[in-house]
Chain A
């Protein structure tokens, strides 16, 4: 190109190879551009996947955090309550009566209207009445205010998930029920609010009563077991291999072994847990104990690898200085090297625990798929954990459970983000560069 500027009047044949070269250069630059665009496209696609994945789950799940509660004054009709058999009373009907009065409708002989009304309120109302009466029998014949959730389908209607425009046969609620729901909302009987029950309740067969508390407690108990086993054993194994072990065939075998263990599919650990812990050692099925043991075996290689790399990062001068002033090998390691490597060790440990928190497949093998209504009482009682709860709810047929599945995923992701953030902060704050 400089040639062209220097000799503007150059003869034609001389420019011909130039243009050919220019054309080649253009082609090369075009392919450069094209390659760059491909790279950007790959990153953009990956980011779109991330946004769609997280976005879809938030969109599906956030509505769970809002719920609709209904407050109704219930007249406890003495004719309907048998004082001697409080358990056997049809409280749902008493609540339905109160609502019918509120809506100004009459029940027919077959009880169709009251049945339709019962479809709108949670069974929780009945249990609340029962508990109130058990505590205080003098309430019979009086009017008490009861507050509880509306049934999941009614809740979905309020949130706009069930639409009036859908043909009546295709939705679970008919036009009359929708009219009642509208009326209850306009007169202030039904109020929208934050769904605290989702966090305080455990699994239930009724979507509006189902929550994640039991699963959160189960996950926490399981992680405690995992941490108590995987972290000490992993750290000590790493200390031995990195600081004490002679370099020979045996330690080579152990090293290769650990690297391979880290890549064994998680489901294989489930099979091991089933054969070893449940079938051979008779650890109770589906308990936080057996789950924690399996996940500890799974987390062990990751903890070892992370610990070894942070021990490697401690410069040899530290060891030499300690040995030089007369410390023994063990004193050098436990007084100086390990404390200096601790931030890296803890980061690795937290990350592997976060990974264990999200693990599902091996837990299915060891019997953690049972329906557990309540938080586990001990390490040996059956429990459910967050990811398994997600799996169970995803399989449920009711539409309201899909919303809850996404909400449970949000809770799970929040826990994972907190753990990962803790690891990052730990690394940023305490990590030393030598």
Chain B
């Protein structure tokens, strides 16, 4: 609230600075604007920028990091009673102090004796520190704003190159914005690597990449009965691969054939109706596909396989029949098929672009030799478009590997090393979701393993994309 108010006040001050800068420039010109180097508004804008921008940045940084400063100051001095606690308990103590100081619910730990006294003292201290930090940031921001204003206003005269200065600011902001995209990548890479590194300190990286047992449940307390945790990710990779293969078996032929038909055979009318319809299929959120898979396709496939099993029961293949009768709703096949449906428009529109990029002269040459349309497509267009289509398929594979909601809702949670599409499997993305949903503690290998999986996922999809983009680029150059 305080931050918002101060930002509002700062905006008003900056507006006043604008008027002051503009007014001073006009006065210096003596009413003849032509005598000014720049338009009057640029003088105003220059004053407003110096009055507003640095202070706003300061307030923003204060809102982002003020809390951390408060924590650091508060925890710098630890009373003896607190220092005697284990590090975990110390953390709980300080988070409780923060909670009480800011009027939120604390944990249910009871403090008594010297600890209680220390607690109450720290709560008071926390409130004081919070006030000091907040008001000092505010005061500093006010000084910076006023300083910027006072620095700039005297410099305004007819010779002053206000436009060039303002455009310098604009260029700076533009560069900062485009660096944001790089910072995002950097943030992804650094956060994944940092957390994964902490994970690989407890679990060896080779054991993670080549181990065949995945059981991340770890005992939270010493007296609990639970496995000690196994972090072999091969079953997850296998599950991901299985689902991805099924999805591609559905999406690749349907997507490719419809792209060929739309670009080579269909007339304008058909094209302009089918393409938007395919775009609808592409725009449906994945959680909707997940719902469709879990409540429509799953039960349907289960009933189908159970029905086949009942027909075959008692026959020569009784073993298979018994298995089919026990098939459950959650299976790799369901997730794969629905994911395939999701990928159809993706494959189709990418292939469509690539087929359209094949020069018409190639087709004309083929027709002139007496080839039929399908022969032209099969023997001329497709071979010419092959690298591009391979790239499109790679991009689709990368989408399939990173897709989360469909598999979370339809594939299952059991980590099994199987190639049977009727079995429940689990994928890398499903495990990331299940490991990180709900409460997490950031030092258990269970939570950190999600970052290890995330890093693997990121590296694989990034690799696929780079290869695919390279292929497309090379291929485009060929015909340009």
B404 to chain A, nearest CB (A): 4
Top 6 A-B pairs ranked by shortest CB distance?
A265-B402, A358-B285, A39-B261, A42-B257, A275-B191, A240-B174
B318 proximal to A (CB < 8 A)? no
A301 B404 Cβ-Cβ under 8 A: no
Which residues of chain B come closer than 8 Å to A57, judged between CB atoms?
A: 288, 291-292
Q: In the complex, which residue of chain A has the Cβ closest to the Cβ of B436? A: A365
B283 A416 Cβ-Cβ under 8 A: yes
A341 to chain B, nearest CB (A): 15
A271 proximal to B (CB < 8 A)? yes
B438 proximal to A (CB < 8 A)? yes
Interface string of A255-269 (1 = CB under 8 A from B): 011111101111111
B295 A46 Cβ-Cβ under 8 A: no
Which residues of chain A come closer than 8 Å to B174, judged between CB atoms?
A: 236-237, 239-240, 244
Which residues of chain A come closer than 8 Å to B182, judged between CB atoms?
A: 253-254, 257
Which residues of chain A come closer than 8 Å to B345, judged between CB atoms?
A: 46
B180 A237 Cβ-Cβ under 8 A: yes
Interface string of B153-186 (1 = CB under 8 A from A): 0000000000100010011011101111110110
B465 A263 Cβ-Cβ under 8 A: yes
A425 proximal to B (CB < 8 A)? no
Q: How far is the CA of A319 from the CA of B54 in the complex (A)?
A: 32
| Residue from A53, A236, A301, A387 within 8 A of B173 (CB atoms) | A236
State the B residues within 8 Å of A (CB). Answer: 64-65, 67-68, 163, 167, 170-171, 173-175, 177-182, 184-185, 187-188, 191-192, 194-195, 253-258, 260-262, 265, 274, 277-278, 280-281, 283-292, 294-296, 341, 344-345, 348, 372-375, 377-378, 395, 398-399, 401-405, 408-409, 429, 432-433, 436-438, 442, 450-451, 454, 457-458, 461-462, 465-466, 469
B163 A328 Cβ-Cβ under 8 A: yes
| Residue from B171, B180, B274 within 8 A of A244 (CB atoms) | B171
A13 to chain B, nearest CB (A): 25
A144 to chain B, nearest CB (A): 38
Which residues of chain B come closer than 8 Å to A43, judged between CB atoms?
A: 257-258, 261-262, 274
Q: How far is the CA of A108 from the CA of B57 in the complex (A)?
A: 72
Q: How far is the CA of A265 from the CA of B453 in the complex (A)?
A: 13
B344 A46 Cβ-Cβ under 8 A: yes
| Residue from A244, A257, A268, A391 within 8 A of B405 (CB atoms) | A391
A391 B409 Cβ-Cβ under 8 A: yes
B432 A267 Cβ-Cβ under 8 A: yes
Chain A interface size, as a band, is 35 or more
Q: How far is the CA of A420 from the CA of B280 in the complex (A)?
A: 9
Which residues of chain A come closer than 8 Å to B194, judged between CB atoms?
A: 275
7 extra A-B contacts, CB within 8 A, seeds A32-B375, A358-B283, A361-B408? A46-B254, A237-B178, A261-B184, A272-B187, A276-B191, A391-B287, A406-B291
| Residue from B178, B254, B372, B395 within 8 A of A263 (CB atoms) | B395
Interface string of A347-391 (1 = CB under 8 A from B): 000000011011111001100010000000000000000011011
A409 B405 Cβ-Cβ under 8 A: no
B404 A265 Cβ-Cβ under 8 A: yes
A23 proximal to B (CB < 8 A)? no
Q: Determine which residue in B288, B375, B429 has the highest number of CB atoms from chain A within 10 A of its CB, and name it.
A: B288
10 contacts between A and B (CB under 8 A): A32-B373, A38-B257, A49-B341, A239-B174, A253-B182, A260-B466, A272-B184, A272-B187, A300-B181, A394-B290
A322 proximal to B (CB < 8 A)? no
A394 B181 Cβ-Cβ under 8 A: no
Q: Tell me whether A46 and B377 are in contact in the complex, defined as CB-CB below 8 angstroms, given that A272-B191, A300-B181, A364-B436 are known contacts.
A: no
B177 A233 Cβ-Cβ under 8 A: yes
Q: In the complex, which residue of chain B has the Cβ closest to the Cβ of A409? A: B288
A394 B295 Cβ-Cβ under 8 A: yes
A86 proximal to B (CB < 8 A)? no
Which residues of chain B come closer than 8 Å to A42, judged between CB atoms?
A: 253-258, 261
A12 proximal to B (CB < 8 A)? no
B287 to chain A, nearest CB (A): 4
Which residues of chain B come closer than 8 Å to A259, judged between CB atoms?
A: 465, 469
Q: Tell me whether A263 and B285 are in contact in the complex, defined as CB-CB below 8 angstroms, given that A268-B454, A272-B188, A275-B451 are known contacts.
A: no
Q: Determine which residue in B184, B409, B465 has the highest number of CB atoms from chain A within 10 A of its CB, and name it.
A: B184
Which residues of chain A come closer than 8 Å to B374, judged between CB atoms?
A: 31-32, 34-36
Interface string of A1-45 (1 = CB under 8 A from B): 000000000000000000000000000110110111011111101
A240 B188 Cβ-Cβ under 8 A: no
Q: How far is the CA of A274 from the CA of B448 in the complex (A)?
A: 12
Q: Tell me whether A266 and B277 are in contact in the complex, defined as CB-CB below 8 angstroms, given that A31-B374, A259-B469 are known contacts.
A: no
A163 proximal to B (CB < 8 A)? no
Q: Tell me whether A39 and B260 are in contact in the complex, defined as CB-CB below 8 angstroms, given that A60-B295, A358-B287 are known contacts.
A: yes
B480 to chain A, nearest CB (A): 16
B280 to chain A, nearest CB (A): 7
